[in-house]
Amino acid sequence: MTHRGTSTEPADLRELQLTVPAADGLPLAATLTLPAGRGPHPAVLCLPGSGKVDRDSNAGRVRMDLGRPLAATLARHGVASLRYDRRGVGATPGDWHTVGFLDNRADAAAALHALRAHPDIHPRAAGVLGHSEGAVHAMWLAAHTPVAAAVFVAGYARPGDQAVRRQGAQLADALPTAVRPLLPVLRRVAARQLTRLAATTTDAARIGGIRVNARWWREQLAYDPRADLAGIRVPVLAVTGDKDTQVDPDDLDVIARLVPGGAETHRIPGLTHILRRTDGPASVFAYRRLLRAPLDEELLTTIACWLAARLR
């Protein structure tokens, strides 16, 4: 890792701005958040969900603002954390449209290696934490790389194709009543788009007139995390909200069954995929309103306490 300067933060944490070299040499712009006191510290790599998101899980005007509050909570519990901008996002160079699902996984592996090698980090007390797509990459890392613990937040445990089709069905169920008569047509269009994506051979393609990262879609649709879950030999915490419309909360049972020795699972009442709670119906159409509220503090504390107890 290359240091690019520091910033002054509250007394209970310290932030270092770094660049992490990917396997092909591309510099991933990153933030290492350290707890107060001398190291080496236990640490966790934080991986965001899908899309053109930066180290704080923000994509343009859609601001989830997960990275910094999570890092601060972890630091208060004595756990350092590393987060980074994806390729072609924020301060990391590249073309996001040409980045594949497996590229994201390889970059996560490189970031984990760099985290373990940092002088302020205890290399045998490093874990991985992912949200949504990041949780799926965390499953692979937990099965194939030296980590001490793993946290999966809103991660699916089924083939990617099935996960995407379930998301589509949930979205259709939440459409306004006036649009319901169009559902058969919309479902046929969506099925054709997925078929076209699966048949592409280029990194990027135009689907429905929109440029999309086709290779990411092909690789994500084809990936099945269940074999990796069965290969994990470290403590696992899996958390999904019961109002998550993008991931089936019942996948928690699959994770607990497949991970040897089991996994600690939490199905949190009222929690949505964007990690805010709601008393209303579960719907992606409520995201804009829910994002005005802060992240669920109880969730952040639960994760931090669990990691602090296992990364030693």
Burial of 138 (0-12, 13-18, 19+ CB in 10 A): buried
pTM of the model: 0.92
pLDDT digits (tens, 9 = 90+) for 66-80: 999 999 999 999 999
Residue 200 lies in a domain: no
CATH number for the domain that contains residue 270: 3.40.50.1820
**Higher-confidence position of 188 and 90:** 90
CB 267 within 8 A of CB 40: no
Query: What is the average pLDDT value for the chain, to the nearest integer?
Result: 91
Cα→Cα distances 283→154, 159, 246, 280, 293, Å = 15, 23, 9, 9, 16
Residue 127 lies in a domain: yes
DSSP state of 139: H
CB 67 within 8 A of CB 295: no
Domain that holds residue 79: 2-159+223-310
**How many domains in the chain?**
1
Residue 259 lies in a domain: yes
Residue 191 lies in a domain: no
Residue 284: its pLDDT value, please?
86
CB 221 within 8 A of CB 199: no
DSSP state of 57: S
Residue 38 lies in a domain: yes
Residue 54 lies in a domain: yes
Does the structure show a pLDDT above 50 at 5?
Answer: no
Residue 283: its pLDDT value, please?
86
Residue 186 lies in a domain: no
Residue 166: its pLDDT value, please?
87
- CA 172, CA 184: separation in Å to the nearest integer? 10
Does the structure show a pLDDT above 70 at 181?
Answer: no
Residue 263 lies in a domain: yes
pLDDT digits (tens, 9 = 90+) for 255-311: 999 999 899 999 999 999 999 999 988 888 899 999 999 999 999 999 999 999 999
For residue 70, what is the enclosing H or E element? helix 67-76
Residue 7 binned pLDDT confidence (cut-offs 50, 70, 90): very low
Does the structure show a pLDDT above 70 at 4?
Answer: no
Task: Tell me the average pLDDT across 214-226.
Answer: 94
As a whole number of angstroms, the longest Cα–Cα distance in the chain is 62
Does the structure show a pLDDT above 70 at 188?
Answer: no
